[in-house]
């Protein structure tokens, strides 16, 4: 379930111009076709936002692609400022929640003011797919895409108060209905299509139906939920003050990318007095390449 919330704001940091230049995509990822009967996914989400105005919702703007160049359209991940992400079109959303010492929800990656977000690209492998690092006053979140297409979140707390949670919901940058979700043997499975693992193991797990009383803050004994309305959720509580790594793996085999490329950035060698020019060029080339489909068409 993907939405466009239309909030205003601005981002800062080395890749902010590239983020701002990206088109807003998937205003209704997973929407029903024009001839289908019933509300679209976007209409369902907008209705829920009206019914639950106090709940956190995606900001729905400034999407950026994180994917293997040449991968299929449906296999491309999307990120929003603040660090919320979806591993593929029509999948689900992952957001970061921060709680105070008393356990009250204090902030989310969807609600961090845009002027409090710094994002940048980095290349752990000089020729590989870049990572996208987001820094706020509460956390640093770095999303990476492996050659296999798996998305990895390295999450480190900032400051010295409260603790972080990873929330898995149907809404996100390119989300979709969650009709089945379960945490078992250290792994969270979503719709029998995705497996999410976190290291170290979460200190608290809540699984259930979004919108039920206490769903944001309460503790549940249930580790499994199924329902046709698509509003399943999970909250994975992290150990206070300790970094964690979340890995999102698609259970079905992906189509290998047929594209071959020397690097996911500019290959020009430039010697300029302002390094931001080269950083901007690298970011623009990377964003375009990660949006390429199997035959080199721009699809994201």
DSSP string, 67-90: S-TT--GGG-EEE-TTS-EESSTT
CB 262 within 8 A of CB 39: no
Helix (H/G/I), strand (E/B), else coil: 19: helix
Residues whose CB is less than 8 angstroms from the CB of residue 277 and which lie 6 or more positions away in sequence, other chains included: 270
Distances (CA, A) of 300 to 15, 23, 71, 106, 211: 18, 9, 11, 33, 32
Residue 31, helix vs strand vs coil: coil
Q: How many CB atoms lie within 10 A of CB 200?
A: 11
Lowest mean pLDDT segment, chosen from 196-200, 207-211, 216-220: 216-220
Q: Which residue has the higher pLDDT, 126 or 94?
A: 94
Q: pLDDT for 59-105, tens place per residue?
A: 888 889 999 999 988 899 999 999 999 999 999 999 999 999 888 99
CATH architecture of 16-290: Distorted Sandwich (2.70)
Q: What is the pLDDT of residues 39-50, one digit of tens each?
A: 888 899 999 999
Q: Does the pLDDT of residue 29 top 50, yes or no? A: no
pLDDT in tens, 253-281: 887 888 888 889 888 888 888 888 888 99
State pLDDT tens for residues 212-229.
999 999 888 889 999 999
Is the distance from CB of 55 to CB of 12 less than 8 angstroms? no
> Domain coordinates of the chain in residue numbers?
16-290
- Residue found by looking up tokens 């939405």 in the block: 3
Residue 209 CB contacts under 8 Å (≥ 6 apart), including other chains: 215, 225, 227, 229, 231, 232, 233
């Amino acid at each position: 379930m993907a939405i466009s919330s239309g909030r205003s704001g601005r981002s800062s940091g080395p890749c902010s111009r590239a983020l701002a230049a990206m088109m807003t995509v998937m205003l209704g990822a997973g929407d029903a076709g024009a001839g289908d009967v019933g509300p679209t996914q976007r209409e369902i989400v907008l209705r829920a936002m009206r019914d639950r105005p106090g709940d956190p919702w995606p900001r729905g703007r400034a999407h950026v692609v994180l994917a293997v160049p040449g991968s299929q359209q449906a296999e491309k991940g999307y990120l929003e400022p603040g660090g919320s992400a979806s591993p593929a079109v029509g999948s689900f959303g992952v957001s970061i929640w921060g709680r105070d010492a008393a356990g009250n929800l204090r902030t989310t990656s969807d609600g961090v003011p845009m002027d409090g977000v710094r994002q940048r690209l980095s290349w752990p492998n000089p020729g590989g797919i870049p990572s996208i690092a987001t820094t706020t006053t509460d956390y640093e979140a770095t999303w990476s895409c492996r050659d296999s297409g798996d998305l990895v979140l390295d999450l480190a707390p900032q400051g010295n108060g409260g603790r972080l949670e990873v929330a898995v919901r149907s809404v996100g940058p390119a989300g979709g209905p969650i009709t089945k979700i379960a945490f078992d043997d250290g792994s969270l499975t979503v719709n029998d299509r995705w497996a999410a693992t976190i290291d170290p193991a979460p200190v608290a797990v809540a699984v259930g139906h979004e919108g039920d009383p206490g769903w944001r803050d309460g503790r549940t004994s249930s580790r499994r939920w199924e329902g046709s309305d698509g509003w399943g959720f999970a909250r994975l509580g992290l150990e206070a003050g300790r970094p964690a790594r979340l890995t999102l793996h698609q259970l079905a085999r992906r189509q290998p990318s047929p594209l071959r490329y020397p690097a996911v950035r500019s290959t020009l060698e430039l010697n300029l007095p302002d390094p931001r020019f080269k950083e901007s060029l690298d970011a623009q080339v990377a964003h375009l390449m990660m949006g390429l489909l199997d035959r080199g068409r721009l699809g994201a």
